[in-house]
Amino acid sequence: MFFERIKTPGIAQVAYILAADGDALVVDPCRDVQRYLTILQNSSLRLRYVVQTHRHEDFEMGGAALRQLTGAEIVAGKHDIFRHADVRLGDGETLQLGTLTLRALHTPGHTPESMCYAIYLAANPELAWGVFTGDALFIGDTGRTDLPAADKAVENAGRLYDALHDKVFPLGDQTLVFPAHGAGSACGGQVADRDDSTIGIERVSNAAATMGREAFVRYKGHEQHARPPYFRVMEQVNLDGGRALDERPVPWLPPQSFRELSQTGVVIDTREAEAFAGGHIASAYSIWLAGLSRYGGWITDPVSLYLVVDEPGQLHEARLALARIGHDNVAGALANGFSAWRAAGQAIETSGTITPAQLNAASGHYTVLDVREAGEFEAGHIPAAQHVFVGELAHWLGEMALDTDTPLAVTCSVGHRSSFGVSILKRHGYSNVSNLLGGMTAWHRLGLPIDRPGT
Amino acid sequence: MFFERIKTPGIAQVAYILAADGDALVVDPCRDVQRYLTILQNSSLRLRYVVQTHRHEDFEMGGAALRQLTGAEIVAGKHDIFRHADVRLGDGETLQLGTLTLRALHTPGHTPESMCYAIYLAANPELAWGVFTGDALFIGDTGRTDLPAADKAVENAGRLYDALHDKVFPLGDQTLVFPAHGAGSACGGQVADRDDSTIGIERVSNAAATMGREAFVRYKGHEQHARPPYFRVMEQVNLDGGRALDERPVPWLPPQSFRELSQTGVVIDTREAEAFAGGHIASAYSIWLAGLSRYGGWITDPVSLYLVVDEPGQLHEARLALARIGHDNVAGALANGFSAWRAAGQAIETSGTITPAQLNAASGHYTVLDVREAGEFEAGHIPAAQHVFVGELAHWLGEMALDTDTPLAVTCSVGHRSSFGVSILKRHGYSNVSNLLGGMTAWHRLGLPIDRPGT
Amino acid sequence: MFFERIKTPGIAQVAYILAADGDALVVDPCRDVQRYLTILQNSSLRLRYVVQTHRHEDFEMGGAALRQLTGAEIVAGKHDIFRHADVRLGDGETLQLGTLTLRALHTPGHTPESMCYAIYLAANPELAWGVFTGDALFIGDTGRTDLPAADKAVENAGRLYDALHDKVFPLGDQTLVFPAHGAGSACGGQVADRDDSTIGIERVSNAAATMGREAFVRYKGHEQHARPPYFRVMEQVNLDGGRALDERPVPWLPPQSFRELSQTGVVIDTREAEAFAGGHIASAYSIWLAGLSRYGGWITDPVSLYLVVDEPGQLHEARLALARIGHDNVAGALANGFSAWRAAGQAIETSGTITPAQLNAASGHYTVLDVREAGEFEAGHIPAAQHVFVGELAHWLGEMALDTDTPLAVTCSVGHRSSFGVSILKRHGYSNVSNLLGGMTAWHRLGLPIDRPGT
Amino acid sequence: MFFERIKTPGIAQVAYILAADGDALVVDPCRDVQRYLTILQNSSLRLRYVVQTHRHEDFEMGGAALRQLTGAEIVAGKHDIFRHADVRLGDGETLQLGTLTLRALHTPGHTPESMCYAIYLAANPELAWGVFTGDALFIGDTGRTDLPAADKAVENAGRLYDALHDKVFPLGDQTLVFPAHGAGSACGGQVADRDDSTIGIERVSNAAATMGREAFVRYKGHEQHARPPYFRVMEQVNLDGGRALDERPVPWLPPQSFRELSQTGVVIDTREAEAFAGGHIASAYSIWLAGLSRYGGWITDPVSLYLVVDEPGQLHEARLALARIGHDNVAGALANGFSAWRAAGQAIETSGTITPAQLNAASGHYTVLDVREAGEFEAGHIPAAQHVFVGELAHWLGEMALDTDTPLAVTCSVGHRSSFGVSILKRHGYSNVSNLLGGMTAWHRLGLPIDRPGT
């Protein structure tokens, strides 16, 4: 038996390779499939199936690419949405992989078509060894239930609760839990930062198990999650299992070419917040490298993307991070990084940084914008801070009558999203904008004043 | 300035990346272009040109693939054969790459269209820094002149001599020499096993310089080189700059499937000679891994290829080695190697091995087949040995009236090509065949009797 | 939280890195510690503790090396044998690692000092998340109980049963199981070939849970396990946590030097069985690369070791495999492999191979030696085969009055251990020895006659 | 024949491995010798000799470490300083390596003991194939001559000129040149940025060849080179061939521990200039990663070093960069980088950035400090700029009576050294300090006013 987790950072995604007797299946692959193929190749495994738990909305799927390259069959549930699947399993139906048995469990709630797949070893055909839970059950959380329709979130939370209690928890405490996402996913807000769990552990630590149905439905049905616009694109392309990755190299552009070409597109600067503040290209978005998959999806301008990275090796990573959420329009990267821009005498802008102590001392002077998600804001924020999620900041600015000279301090949890916020504000003409370094994490640690609305 | 040699083993090929001011060119790339792109990407270089010295016959070219992926232009000479080039340089014409200048030199002889490209630094525009010599000038040798037409080898040797003396040697002793092949190439038999040389060094050590014209023409014009049948395919596909690499993974097949599927194809066993002798699949060809590019081209059966490798990681290497000579028809590999075949109880054949001492002691008993190239045989061989080049062995057997029970000892230089020979003999029904371990190298070291026809 | 398994092939060993809040511990590291340090370094983790479950006998431990390099403290139980530990935990005592808690469980039976360590997350301080079980509980098996003293195996089996039932199984079905060994270990014969399990899964599939006490004690107390002589060395060096790895490179020796120097030592040929049969150096032991850690420990000649490997890169692996079992006396390797030996005209020996069909057809002609472990032999063997475990073959030959001309066929499961056996027989002067290709696996698949003594 | 260049960035150093017939030598290795051993191991080469051109002053040598690990002999000249060498060659004496011959050439001038070694192939024993030139001859430059004694620079320039003209240039135009340093070395200011050259190319492009003796002596004897204080340490440790590398991992420290421990040491922040400006730890030095080997040598506080890096993987690189110049006192690194510091609410300082356009517009307002080397300053600088080399800035500040409130703009070539300068100024209490982004490179490109003292 062969079993391996393959994690994708940025979208906090986990795919799995399971194999027995030389035959393998991959569960929920991303579209950059070469890494799965390398593992299969190095272990002399032949890919037979790509197993899909549901149509993902937060990343582009790799099923179609794997089928194309290997001839593997796509396995999914019976819901209409899986029209492109080769093998469709109804609730309770099984699939054999060597000596292993997969049993399909229909577990709607996150999405109507969501499936889990319990795994049984030959030696104990009655007792589940593990279960692929997709976005139904995470470690410490469940999938969000607002995706199919925001106004059905409560109803879907009930469905999810029932599916888990009727089909997944009964697999028994001994069952290993293999979800599609880990901590930091856009599909669940409270996912624990560990990779190994069992049904028994979830039964005492997961709200879906420790709460009663009513409480859970209320809690889960009213969670507030951001919904980046690229989700709509994923909904379409994933109907057919995702598109093949564009493997053409992104051209490196010297400063002058970069400046000229990027006029008709959008610059994304992937350096850290302090580097962006110390000097950047006018109109650039600031999205740190590890946040590209999560926040790049909020940029919807249907235009070419031009990247600034710290090291040449990061271009591949940045481009993959964008491709994973379907952004294939990376048209160039700044050759030799920002120091080349600097040395070319190209125009440079700076933005401000401010420490918690400084902001606290000058609190009256600044309008504080807190760009975290609503739930984070509600759990405690700087007194008088205004809340607007960074993904909605551009839209919000259009509706506000804020003076562009207003001294603004932008905050989030540690300073990454606030740098994105600063860059959006500068694009909209706000000139006096500072990033609160360390954000609310530092603010809390320093014991500075907090407003907790609920208390 | 950026300069890097990128060697391809098996075909003993060398490509070059040269760059200045962020702009790069690649000289004579193979079709597995990803490795060139990785270098360019990691050094923030933009590919502007693919420079071709000539239409290669011994490997499939990567120009078209690079143009397709990067938009680079293909640079070549003015000969008709370069109809697909974007930039065509006549003799003496130049191309600028940042501060560097390339000057085209038409140097026919190896092939009619062969070009060299001298490189000049901005600081010394009159003095060549280096020269890309393609297959015109190797280190210690020149390209063979029999390829355009065997009966024009002498004439072409004269053309090559003139081109080198008129255009290449006059670049001056200081000029660095960058040829397209190193030692072990099918395009030249006496290439030295070092990578660095200069015109000055070649002028005292290369036959093209140390011999007079007449002597050189006689020597080079009568060299005997094998001409594997795949050369004809390369001649066609390289007209358009080669085809893109097939990236689909080769399926691993368990023994039973491997046996069944390979019935309609050909098995190539890439293990070492001793391993093949100790146990192998019936009808398999024995071609050691490092020899696949060189000897795989003699297998012309228009069928699927099935591979036996020692380690899973070698499949990629084996498949690339075949793809580089245009063999894209690898249809499967034996999962978990020969030990899986063994453990499955599949039929196994063995063949004999014999040491020089044993053969010498029993010399009357064996018919000795020497499967090296003609020149090697003529320089010294076992008394009474018959010569037939391994690539022509199958054809030769068809014409011979050799009894299939005859005890045969097969030899080459160290035992690789003779293992290929053994496998061909076994395919033709010869049952009593032994590989001379250590071949003529060991025979010589042991001071055993040698026939030298020329002396 | 950070958790990673680090497997060591050959000894089927698993070490673990567990970390929380930047502080890490390593459980049961091998002496080649650089790989653990690399993981820690890349994840910005600081090593605080090396946790030892017991004094291992089958590999040299890395605790002392890690303490020396990092200043980490060694954590173990209170038994006298752990005299070198910095932190000694009694049964039930706990250790804090950031927000995680480790609780020590004294679980004697495999060895008197054996400890397990249950892991608790801050959120559920009463419910174990996982347990490091050392050699007390494997997946599908338990540690052997004959190591402290063969005549106490039954008594120790009882102790182990009690410890598991009193302390480990009560941790609950949800508990993840993290043992020190996987399938193929010398410490347990029936370990399952999967890495993930829980107490709940073991409770229905592990003999220690499914059998009653009496049956288990009888079964486990009478298991027959080989005990390689190097275990005695490990017992000594591991008292102090093992020795640092010798990092000096092994010199590559050309054939003539290799031959001369190895006269005073022992040659180990790590190539596959067929390659060894096809040609090898006189007196060489044949131990395939992946079997070096497992079978190299049977070579006790207190002399230098000289290695033959297929590829230069394998020398590092071969040397590590030997170092892991304490063999630091590798004095040289054959430069450029067996083909260099061949080409140098050095003396070569061959040995026979035979297929199951051939042996079955000529069964009367051969004395069959089955060199597997006793339990494997008893489960079914070739009629009239004699049993002697490969590790005891040399000793056994000394006591036998076997004619060195006797035609011998040697078998094991697939042909690796039998190749080791063939090489031992040849060292003892037996000249007519053949390796049964595919061994009993192939024999079974072909449906050839089997003796099953117990039936 | 085997030949490979192994470059070490930061010190722009080149070591060489040359091998024939399985025997290898390494020329001028650095103390991090594992990379040389890996190359030797992968090519089945045995190290016989470490060849030293001279006692290097700019990096710690690896000869002693290689001798210790492999038993290789150290080869050098006859000067007293090479007392630790095993083989000492006088001028003209030769060493055999397989079929290759090395001929020693005593070439004093850079240092009194400097040797070159010409390489001859067996086929042409009279004609040099290449020459290891150490610091005597670089590509486009020669070694500095002020190291033995600043007041003997002129005299030594004459010696160097004579040695090159008497012994090196006569090797002939065809000779490949293999120097110990490339562009960016502290041992020569005008080294060309290419790796391949020949005597013939140098003869038309190197001042040592194109100038007459008198002109060269004047030019080279009056060059101004910085001499970092660590050179004195190298002079001592290299007498014995350098020390072994400290392989113990550097501990990652969380912000609070980092702050406390680093109080008694020195913090080096390796992030880019903009990041440093946007936020940094008080009193930290700013030295960008690639500049650590070059500028870290100016920090002489005999105290522990604490590092801030962008990515965990950079710690290894940073530590090696310091170890290469003998700084073994790295005592800790900031775990999870500056964003952890930020999030911990630790105190953060910022510094200013200014663009060329801004500075030009406000020129009267700022005192401009140009921290490049004297030669760079003299070739053109901002009008009214004061010059002080960054390495001497701390000393210079002690002698100046500059008001700590003075608005200072610091410049260098592109902004790296000026960031180091900014950090030194801040350590000395200067509060109003800005880094000129893009430095003189940008200033020139924008066509802003320049003072050229010599014109």
Yes or no, beta carbons of D315 and C43 under 8 Å apart: no
Which pLDDT score is estimated for B190? Answer: 84
Size of interface A-C (CB pairs under 8 A): 79
Which pLDDT score is estimated for C454? Answer: 62
Size of interface C-D (CB pairs under 8 A): 68
- Measured CB to CB, residues of chain C less than 8 Å from chain D are 21-22, 37, 40-47, 69-71, 247-249, 251-254, 312-313, 315-316, 335-337
Query: What chain D residue is nearest to B192 in terms of C-alpha separation?
Result: D1
Under the banding of pLDDT at 50, 70 and 90, the label for residue D454 is: low
Yes or no, beta carbons of A196 and C174 under 8 Å apart: no
Task: Give A319's strand partners.
Answer: none
Quote the tokens at residue C123: 């959120």
Query: Could you say which of B22, B44, B312 has the minimum Cβ distance to residue A42?
Result: B312
Q: Which residues of B fall within a CB distance of 8 Å from A312?
A: 41-44
Interface with A, mutate which of D339, D446, D450 (most A CBs under 10 A): D339
Yes or no, beta carbons of D37 and C249 under 8 Å apart: yes
Query: What chain A residue is nearest to D447 in terms of C-alpha separation?
Result: A345
d(CA C420, CA C271): 11
d(CA C249, CA C319): 10
Which pLDDT score is estimated for D301? Answer: 66
Q: What is the mean pLDDT of chain A?
A: 95
For residue A19, give how far its alpha carbon lies from the nearest alpha carbon of chain B (Å).
Answer: 13
Yes or no, beta carbons of D446 and A345 under 8 Å apart: yes
ipTM for the predicted complex? 0.94
Is pLDDT at C189 greater than 80 in this prediction? no
Residue D286 carries which side chain, given as an amino acid letter? S
Query: What chain B residue is nearest to C435 in terms of C-alpha separation?
Result: B278
Once rounded to an integer, what is the mean pLDDT over residues C39-48? 95
d(CA B73, CA B50): 6
Q: Which residues of C fall within a CB distance of 8 Å from A127?
A: 200-201, 204
Q: What is the mean pLDDT of chain D?
A: 95
Would you put residue B28 in left (φ > 0), alpha (ψ -120 to 50) or beta?
left
Which pLDDT score is estimated for D455? Answer: 59
Q: What angle do CA C308, C309, C313 make, to 5 degrees?
A: 140
b/e code D383-408 from CB counts within 10 Å (16+ = b): eebbbbbbbebbebbeeeebeeeebb
CB within 8 Å of A281: residues ≥ 6 apart? A259, A262, A267, A269, A308, A341, A346, A347, A348, A349
Quote the tokens at residue C119: 């892991």
Under the banding of pLDDT at 50, 70 and 90, the label for residue C400 is: confident
Yes or no, beta carbons of B335 and A249 under 8 Å apart: no
Yes or no, beta carbons of C438 and B353 under 8 Å apart: no
Yes or no, beta carbons of A343 and D276 under 8 Å apart: no
For residue C438, give how far its alpha carbon lies from the nearest alpha carbon of chain B (Å).
Answer: 4
Under the banding of pLDDT at 50, 70 and 90, the label for residue A184 is: confident
Using one digit for the tens of pLDDT, what is the confidence trace for D340-385?
Answer: 999 999 999 999 999 999 999 998 899 999 999 998 999 999 999 9
Is pLDDT at A301 greater than 80 in this prediction? no
Low-confidence ranges of chain B (pLDDT < 50): none
Once rounded to an integer, what is the mean pLDDT over residues D22-26? 97
For residue D413, give how far its alpha carbon lies from the nearest alpha carbon of chain A (Å).
Answer: 8
Which pLDDT score is estimated for C224? Answer: 84
Query: Could you say which of B41, B251, B254 has the minimum Cβ distance to residue A249?
Result: B41
CB D59 within 8 A of CB D30: yes
Once rounded to an integer, what is the mean pLDDT over residues D183-202? 89
b/e code B256-276 from CB counts within 10 Å (16+ = b): ebbbeebeebbbbbbbbbbbb
Instruction: Estimate the crossing angle of helix B63-70 against helix B34-42, to 10 degrees.
Output: 50
Yes or no, beta carbons of C415 and B342 under 8 Å apart: yes
Is pLDDT at C186 greater than 90 in this prediction? no
d(CA B438, CA B446): 11
Please state, as a whole number, how many other Cβ atoms lie within 10 Å of the Cβ of residue D233: 17
For residue C329, give how far its alpha carbon lies from the nearest alpha carbon of chain D (Å).
Answer: 15
Which pLDDT score is estimated for C453? Answer: 76
Tokens 């076994």: give the residue: B426
Task: Give B102's strand partners.
Answer: B95, B119
CB A121 within 8 A of CB A100: yes
Interface with D, mutate which of B7, B132, B198, B441 (most D CBs under 10 A): B198
Please state, as a whole number, how many other Cβ atoms lie within 10 Å of the Cβ of residue D244: 12
Quote the tokens at residue D183: 């562009």
d(CA D22, CA D27): 16
Tokens 């003139």: give the residue: B162
**Helix ranges restricted to H, D206-355:** 207-210, 213-221, 230-237, 255-262, 273-278, 292-295, 313-324, 337-343
Using one digit for the tens of pLDDT, what is the confidence trace for A390-411?
Answer: 999 999 998 887 888 999 999 9
| DSSP state for residue B432 in the 8-state scheme | S
Which pLDDT score is estimated for B256? Answer: 96
Quote the tokens at residue A238: 């994933």
Give DSSP secondary structure letters for C304-359: -EEEE-SSTHHHHHHHHHHHHTT---EEEEETTHHHHHHHTT---B--EEE-HHHH
Give the chains touching C; criterion: ≥3 Cβ pairs < 8 Å. Answer: A, B, D
pTM over 0.90: yes
Under the banding of pLDDT at 50, 70 and 90, the label for residue D201 is: very high
d(CA B239, CA B250): 28
Please state, as a whole number, how many other Cβ atoms lie within 10 Å of the Cβ of residue C401: 4
CA distances to B225, B340, D56 from D37, in Å = 39, 36, 21
CA distances to B3, D32, D34 from D6, in Å = 14, 12, 12
- Measured CB to CB, residues of chain A less than 8 Å from chain D are 271-280, 310, 338-339, 341-348, 350, 353, 355-357, 413-416, 437-439, 441-446
Yes or no, beta carbons of B353 and C279 under 8 Å apart: yes
What does the longest C-alpha to C-alpha distance in chain B come to? Answer: 71
Interface with A, mutate which of D437, D441, D450 (most A CBs under 10 A): D437
CB C335 within 8 A of CB C21: no
Q: Which residues of D fall within a CB distance of 8 Å from A434?
A: none
Is pLDDT at C302 greater than 90 in this prediction? no
Query: What chain C residue is nearest to B275 in terms of C-alpha separation?
Result: C275
Quote the tokens at residue C409: 């066929």
**Helix ranges restricted to H, D296-438:** 313-324, 337-343, 356-361, 374-378, 393-399, 416-427
- Element (H or E) spanning B253, and its range? strand B252-253
d(CA C387, CA C389): 7
Three-class secondary structure of residue C78 per DSSP: coil
d(CA C269, CA C255): 14
CB within 8 Å of B130: residues ≥ 6 apart? B118, B119, B175, B176, B177, B178, D196
Yes or no, beta carbons of A205 and C176 under 8 Å apart: no
Kind of pairing between the strands at A141-142 and C46-51: unpaired
For residue A350, give how far its alpha carbon lies from the nearest alpha carbon of chain D (Å).
Answer: 8
d(CA D273, CA A325): 32
- Element (H or E) spanning C417, and its range? helix C416-427
Is pLDDT at D140 greater than 90 in this prediction? yes
For residue B65, give how far its alpha carbon lies from the nearest alpha carbon of chain C (Å).
Answer: 32
Using one digit for the tens of pLDDT, what is the confidence trace for B278-297?
Answer: 999 999 999 999 999 999 99
* Percent of residues, chain A, with pLDDT higher than 90: 91
Which pLDDT score is estimated for C313? Answer: 92
d(CA C357, CA B348): 10
Yes or no, beta carbons of A201 and C124 under 8 Å apart: yes
d(CA A276, CA A423): 9
- Measured CB to CB, residues of chain D less than 8 Å from chain C are 21-22, 37, 40-47, 69-71, 247-249, 251-254, 312-313, 315-316, 335-337
Size of interface B-C (CB pairs under 8 A): 133
CB C118 within 8 A of CB C198: no
Tokens 């070198």: give the residue: C84
Yes or no, beta carbons of D249 and C40 under 8 Å apart: yes
d(CA D351, CA D280): 8
Burial class (CB in 10 A: 0-12, 13-18, 19+), C229: exposed
Question: From edge to edge, which strands make up the β-sheet containing D87-88?
Answer: D2-8, D13-20, D23-27, D46-51, D73-76, D87-88
Query: Could you say which of D248, D312, D337 has the minimum Cβ distance to residue C43?
Result: D312
* Percent of residues, chain C, with pLDDT higher than 70: 99
CB within 8 Å of A1: residues ≥ 6 apart? A18, A19, A20, A100, A121, C192, C193, C194
Q: Which residues of A fall within a CB distance of 8 Å from C195?
A: 3
Yes or no, beta carbons of D312 and C249 under 8 Å apart: no
Is pLDDT at D186 greater than 90 in this prediction? no
Please give the sequence-ordered ranges of beta strands (E in DSSP) within D148-250, or none if there are none: 176-179
Interface with B, mutate which of A41, A49, A256, A307 (most B CBs under 10 A): A41
Tokens 């035959």: give the residue: A23
